[in-house]
Amino acid sequence: MKIIGTAILVAALLGVSPAIAAESNSTDSDRPRIGLVLGGGGARGAAHIGVLKELERLRVPIDAIAGTSMGAIVGGLYASGRTPDELELLVDSIDWADAFTDGSPRSHLTFRRKEDDEAYPANLELGVRDGSLQIPKGAIQGQKLQLILREQLLHVSHVKDFDDLPTPFRAVASDLETGTPYVMSTGDLALAVRASMSAPGIFAPVDVDGRTLVDGGLVGNVPVDVVRDMGVDIVIAVDVEFPLYPPDQLQSALQITEQMLTILIRKETLRQLEGLGAQDVLIRPDLGEYASTNFDEIQSVIEPGRTAAAEQAGSLTVLSLPEEDYASFQARRLQQDRVDETTIDFVRIVNDGPLSGEVLLDRLSTEPGDRLNTAKLADDVSRLYGLGYFEHVGYELVNDGGESGIEFTTRAKSWGPNFLKFGLSLEDDFEGATAFNVASRLTATGLNRLGAEWRNDAQIGTNPALSSEFYQPLGFDTRIFVAPRFDLEQRNVKAFSGVDSVARYRITESTLGLDLGVRLGRWGEIRAGAFRGVGEARVKIGDPTLPNEDFDRGGALISFKTDTLDDAQIPKFGTRSRVDWLMSRPGMGADGNFDAFAGAIEKYWSWGSDDRNTVQVGLEYATTIGDDLMVQDYFTLGGFLRLSGLARGELSGPHIGLAKAVYYRQVGHAGGGLFNMPVYLGGSIEAGNAWLDRSNISLDSTIVNGSLFAGLDTFFGQLYVAAGFSEDGESNFYLFLGNQPR
């Protein structure tokens, strides 16, 4: 089934292998000039590759190409000198699910962006400017798509007139202001192709020549007239649009809306096709109801394209060249220019973002004197994009005064400079115990050229909280920083008499602090600071004769955090750890001597086909030392993956320990097309306890729990349905959505 927008809503992207020089093809004056038109159609457009394979088998020379959306991508790459075989290999090698996202690999994120990623898994970011919310121009900004296109068209980046490509080329987009076609014949080929496939609402528009451009399928999905204007005598047109639904399938408002959009697009297509003459050739691959969004099986549409072209062999054979002439024609088209042998003479940044160019240059690994390396350039771009400030980061190979260099370009997020992220967590045991929190984070950026940020968090629900931190780097290398902060939180803690719970306290605590920290690359940070805080502990459920407490904190802390996980929510590789030491003393405003230590580490390994099998091992230990310890000094255990057979927070004490081993396997996907969500099945074994006295800590006193669960990686974070079991026969059932419990 197709989704709204069919062929206009999604465009494919293709990128390819190394390089060649742009050299115009000469054509024989005694044969007709042949133009190829490649229409848009999302994933269905991979059929164009099959058509090209058959045209080359039949030795049909192509003198000009015009393409729209996916047709512009395939056509632009072929016009640059690529072969159908190269395109087919590329289609098979691309991770399409990843290509249709914008985010950098997590290893390229700054540590602060990793913290955002962990705490706020919802894939939604809004801007705040002048007191109003700003929405991104598209669900996908096209960062990765543009980077792939840039890499694969780098060999012709010096060609600014598309008539000077190995095959003259035109890309068709829609001018969003006028609603008319915009034919691109000059400029940046990678950008032109990207503009042609900017499906409105899905991909952000592209600014070219002062125009705001979107998918050309809106106004010219099969641009026959464009290739005619290139001076060809014969047109070969390939139409891969989605067919109209038959009446018996128009059963919903969605399907009817889709049908209306398809009719609107089809109307212009039919007008273009009516202009084909008797000498022209129309190829319509039989793709059935293959969806324009079904990139998971995109390779399967190549052969139908070849078959459809073969069915027109009678009309195409008369256009073929003798074998020797066609070999000469192809040799000119495929002449190679090795850009990978280019030595980089300079590196510079064209930056319209909030950060100093020096800050950005410090993030790059490419240096003058290096041999051009597209993989390294892609990593540099990804690291700059991982700063979280930019709508787009790209690069170009430029020539300046006879020297070759790399020019990185950044474009600040148009919906900034302040950004709002969201998160939620829900845990329900189906017996009335529910924990539910909704949180948001507002980060003000661009406060100065060193990259200062003001982060503000608000959470409502079971554990309300407010926090604010001003983060100020102290140099252009951004490694050392200061961070004044404020925190206010509420939490529930059980009080025990022996092994029996006698009350539940509500703890409210507020803290002011000032930290000095060091950024440890992109994988961690260490902080040391001073703080002052006040709080109260009030009995909410249980023995009303138990005392309520007011308390004061004041002292120093040291915090060390690391994160090398490949994914914040359902990792497959990497390590995450945290060690905190807190000292509270009367001389610094505290009501007594108090020391707390908390440490946790989790490690992930994966193996098998596509790393579908994952094991997590985790250790956690926390302890307090002090005079007259009270319930506000306690740590808690219980809940999913924290002794799963017990309710959330069922155990508490000044000392806790937990060890766990978790196994999960990706067993498939839910949804389809671009909206596939991985599905997991797994189980865990967990051992730990909470102790009132350190002398009671022993292996004999640990309790063993386990769980079985099914999980789904959703837009809001992971979704789990789980059953937890304890060694004494207790069990719990969980519905969990949001941040993974730790």
> What are the residue numbers of the active site?
69, 215
- Helix or strand run (H / E) with residue 88: helix 84-93
Whether the upstream peptide bond of residue 417 has omega within 30° of 0, thus cis, is yes
Contact 215, 8 (CB under 8 A): yes
Q: Which residues, at least 6 apart from 49, have a Cβ–Cβ distance to it below 8 Å?
A: 74, 84, 87, 88, 91, 302, 305
Alpha carbon distance 382, 717 (integer Å): 23
The angle that helices 189-196 and 143-152 make with each other, rounded to 10 degrees, is 140
Would you tell me how many other CB atoms lie within 10 Å of the CB of residue 269? 23
Question: Alpha-carbon distance 515 to 152, whole Å?
Answer: 46
Distance CA 622, CA 626 (A): 14
Tokens linked to 185: 């014949």
- Report helix, strand or coil for 400: strand
Looking up tokens 């503000």 gives 456
192 to each of 9, 37, 153, 188, 237, how far by Cα in Å? Answer: 17, 16, 11, 6, 21
| 564 close to 542: Cβ distance less than 8 angstroms | no
CB-count exposure of residue 735 (10 Å: 0-12, 13-18, 19+): middle
In whole angstroms, give the CA distance from residue 261 to residue 51: 27
In 3D space, the residue among 171, 101, 178 whose CA is nearest the CA of residue 138 turns out to be: 101
Distance CA(351)–CA(423), nearest Å, equals: 31
φ, ψ of residue 253 in degrees (nearest 5): -60, -35
SS3 665: strand
CA angle, corner 416, sides to 412 and 417, nearest 5?
Answer: 90
Q: Residues near 689 by Cβ (< 8 Å), separated by ≥ 6?
A: 637, 651, 656, 657, 701, 702, 703
Q: How far is 531 from 619, CA to CA, in rounded Å? A: 28
**What is the rounded distance in angstroms from the CA atom of residue 250 to the CA atom of residue 139?**
27
Q: Give the Cα separation of 660 and 379 in Å (integer).
A: 35
For residue 556, give the nearest of 526, 517, 585 by alpha carbon: 585
Beta bridge partners of 601: 577, 619
* CB contact at 8 A, 481 and 472: yes
Per-residue HEC secondary structure of 485-526 comes to: EEEEEEEEEEEEECCEEEEEEEEEEEEEEEEEEEEECCCEEE
Please tell me the distance from the alpha carbon of residue 613 to that of residue 238, in angstroms, as a whole number. 43
Q: What is the C-alpha separation between 186 and 413, in angstroms, rounded?
A: 27
Helices of type H across 248-322: 253-274, 302-310, 313-317
Q: Are 306 and 53 in contact (CB under 8 A)?
A: yes
How many Å apart are CA 590 and CA 587, to the nearest integer? 7
Contact 692, 632 (CB under 8 A): no
Residues paired with residue 657 on neighbouring β-strands, in sequence order: 621, 689
